[in-house]
Structure 1
Amino acid sequence: MKLSTRRRPAPALPGLTATARVERRPRTLLSRLRPGDVAVVDHSDLDRATAQSLVDAGVVAVVNAAPMLSGRYPAQGPGLLASHGVLLLDRVGAAAGGVEDGSSVRLHDGVLHLDDGRALEGRLLEAADLEEETTRARLGLASQLETLTHNAAELLRREEELLLHGRGLPTLATSFEGRAAVVAVEGPELAAELALVTPYVREQHPVVIAVHHAADRLVAAGLRPDVVVVDGRSDLEPPRAATLNAAADVVVVVAPGAGHGLTAAVERTGVRAATLSTTATAEDAALLLAKAGESTPVIGVGLHADLEDFLDRDRGGVASTYLTRLALGPRLVDATAVPLLYTGRVRPRHLYVVMLAGLVALLCALAVTPVGQEWATLWGERLSGWVDALTDRLPELSR
């Protein structure tokens, strides 16, 4: 008699095993990520906004061919990933490009094991390592600011007409006259800051300008953007067609001399889009539209606020952001200041409460006067008579 045999299961290997998703630029990779994936990228000094997008996508590890922190400035992305329990392996080198997209990989003790038997060595970053490198990187801020000053001067020479005089901006159907403006940008703080300004938007009806996918976030929160600014130089898909159709104006920002491929893609949704050719970022173009409309104040939602946050972004756009902030001057207000400056309009229920309180106070005052006591006695007798009459008729009504 032949005895059945059962194959023993292979022993579980140590470390983290998951599916690898490979793309040099993290933002291009976002649409393909699924919860539990390992993101394999080549991106030095990962910024906070990109890191938050990776966290939202549910990645369990990020493998970087480049250093997470190069030392030029204190990038905030690696710390954010580590705080959410995402494993970080950097300095893998060019070999990371050999990881097959969709393949199974295992991360253990600073080594990325591939399903074909190869092992790629890198540096497994711990929280203590990140803190130490971030502290050292802060020493490089002075040189970064010096570079920023030079780049800003060059940008001002190229974009003087746009930045200082608003020439080149498209004419919009949206009326800005006598209205404030709210400019919403996709970022880690967008949801929290949007909650702060929502009462203001619903009560004061400012012009709402949303940049790229921030427009979808506003619509999901029950707010309709008046103007949607689409970044035509981004690898991301444009906002949803329903979002674009709900806006009064759509502006596509393109690089000077570049094709208008994304403009055509937007217009295929049935939306007629205007085009703005500039080297400034889409975020800064939205602020310049508010400035050209002479809106006061201009409330920034999701914008970069402090020095490190300001530098922790796409390096090509820092100079334009710096000059745009100067161009707007004191009219630009951060969303976190809105609850301190605006307490809300008086609602009908507030008036009803005040009227009720006044009526109760008046009745109490009358009750202690001879006239009030006489009225109380008179109305008490009438009320007693009505009750007696109703009581007498109850048997007849019950038949």
Structure 2
Amino acid sequence: MNNQLTTTSYGTVYFHHRTKQLVQWIPEGAFALIEHKDIDEMAALALISKNIKGVLNYEPSMSGDYPSLGTIRLLEHGVPVYDVDDPDKVKQVLHQGHIIGITGSKLWLKEEEQHMFLSSLTPYTYQNILSKLKQAQANLTSRLQKFVENTLSNAFIELPEILTSIPIPKLATDMRNRHVVVVTRGSGYMADLMALQNYIREMQPVLIGVDGGADAILECGMKPDVICGDMDSISHYALCSGAEIVVHAYKNGRAPGMEVVQKLGLCAHLFPCFGTSEDAAHLLAYEAGARLIVSVGSHTHMLDFLEKGRKGMASTLLVRFKLGGKLLDAKGIHHLFPSKLNSRISSARSYLDALLY
């Protein structure tokens, strides 16, 4: 046993079934234990920002259903990723803060000087990632067909709502005839927001952060005017930044974000609106009379929505139709002003580009 454990990597482990919740409190340098099929890029970047030691996943980190990017991003940053082969046993034994050890492809629980074997692991390497990407490429046509069918069928259902004027809460922030920048935590959002800094300094637009998009605004040295969303991926620091808070309420009347706001002793407006929180923020700006709406980090295509766990994009399609020429999508604008950092292309990303393009 001692010989087996000489190359074991030790650390504490913390679990949450929602990765976006785990990253808000997991200590730096710990192992993250998640239950996240097809780790998306935003979740991976959030885990990387916490300097985690490794990722253990009860679900397939890459299923091959579509080319998810999260596992690639983690490996690019030196974070090992493992699928747990016996999740039932691990769930029964492991608790928050337990010390675990990983030896090759084996998971151990360390208690004092004893080591209990918990499960074998499936580690991810660039070689098996490439195999998953090839599998995903073979599945793309059927996934696209199902995605489009879902989008169109739901668009017909939601069409009556988008045709009418949507009542909005009365805000102190005046958006009439002003530029509005809506920041969502989508692929490349931080780089795109940085690329817009000169525009923001010159035009002084209203800044709306969609959940964690508010944190991005603060990280860039600016302050959000409005925060809109269900408050499931935003820091308490951002919520307390002084911005007006608009809680997105869903069709069935649920507004889970209101409880989060009230626990902090803050006030918020309620905005019942169909679609995603991103859709709600765009509609809020539109109905408030914005002259131009600049969307940063928006979700615009199938892979974006599959990474969010959505099977279609009906609401977003309808919102974009309604906003028309008032909407300017800044997604990917940082590629027009490449830095040395974002011009580096990893071998894993090259695999993906070769497969998809």
TM-score exceeds 0.5: yes
CA shift for structure 1 position 60? 1.8
- Aligned equivalent of 2:53: 60
State the TM-score, normalized to the length of structure 1: 0.73
- 8 A Cα contact 1:163 1:324, kept in partner: yes
Question: Aligned pair in 2 of structure 1 residues 179, 82: CA closer, same or farther (>3 Å)?
Answer: same
Q: Aligned partners of 2:266, 2:214: CA distance in 1, in Å?
A: 15
Q: Aligned partners of 1:197, 1:266: CA distance in 2, in Å?
A: 29
- Aligned equivalent of 1:86: 79
Q: Aligned partners of 1:87, 1:173: CA distance in 2, in Å?
A: 47
Residue number among 27, 30, 36 corresponding to 2:23 in the alignment: 30
User: Residues 23-77 of structure 1, C-alpha deviation per residue, up to 9 Å, x if partnerless?
Assistant: 2221221123222211111211111101111111111211111111222211111
Q: Aligned partners of 2:305, 2:121: CA distance in 1, in Å?
A: 30
- Aligned equivalent of 1:280: 275
Q: Which one has a larger percent strand, Structure 1 or Structure 2? A: 2
CA shift for structure 1 position 105? 1.0
Q: Aligned partners of 2:245, 2:335: CA distance in 1, in Å?
A: 29
Question: Aligned pair in 2 of structure 1 residues 97, 309: CA closer, same or farther (>3 Å)?
Answer: same
Q: Aligned partners of 1:264, 1:22: CA distance in 2, in Å?
A: 23
SS of the aligned residue for 2:17 comes to coil
- Aligned equivalent of 1:334: 330
* RMSD over equivalenced CA pairs, Å: 3.0
SS of the aligned residue for 1:71 comes to coil
Question: Aligned pair in 2 of structure 1 residues 110, 269: CA closer, same or farther (>3 Å)?
Answer: closer
User: Residues 119-176 of structure 1, C-alpha deviation per residue, up to 9 Å, x if partnerless?
Assistant: 3012111011112211220222222223323332454345334434342433433333
CA shift for structure 1 position 267? 4.7
- Aligned equivalent of 1:217: 216
CA shift for structure 1 position 305? 5.2
- 8 A Cα contact 1:209 1:225, kept in partner: yes
Question: Aligned pair in 2 of structure 1 residues 220, 40: CA closer, same or farther (>3 Å)?
Answer: closer
Report 1:42-61 matches (<5 A).
42-61=35-54
Question: Aligned pair in 2 of structure 1 residues 295, 145: CA closer, same or farther (>3 Å)?
Answer: farther
Relative contact order (C-alpha < 8 Å, sep 6+): which is higher? 2
Q: Does 1:242 align with 2:205?
A: no
Q: Aligned partners of 2:225, 2:161: CA distance in 1, in Å?
A: 22
Report 1:1-399 matches (<5 A).
13-95=6-88, 96-98=90-92, 99-115=94-110, 116-187=115-186, 189-232=188-231, 234=232, 240-243=238-241, 245=242, 247=243, 249-260=244-255, 262-267=257-262, 269=264, 271-304=266-299, 307-315=302-310, 318-330=313-325, 331-334=327-330, 336-337=332-333
CA shift for structure 1 position 241? 4.4
SS of the aligned residue for 2:81 comes to strand
Give aligned-pair identity as a percent. 27
- 8 A Cα contact 2:85 2:120, kept in partner: yes
Question: Aligned pair in 2 of structure 1 residues 57, 42: CA closer, same or farther (>3 Å)?
Answer: same
Question: Aligned pair in 2 of structure 1 residues 109, 71: CA closer, same or farther (>3 Å)?
Answer: same
- 8 A Cα contact 2:178 2:291, kept in partner: yes
Question: Aligned pair in 2 of structure 1 residues 335, 64: CA closer, same or farther (>3 Å)?
Answer: closer
SS of the aligned residue for 1:122 comes to strand
Question: Aligned pair in 2 of structure 1 residues 316, 228: CA closer, same or farther (>3 Å)?
Answer: farther
- 8 A Cα contact 2:229 2:278, kept in partner: no
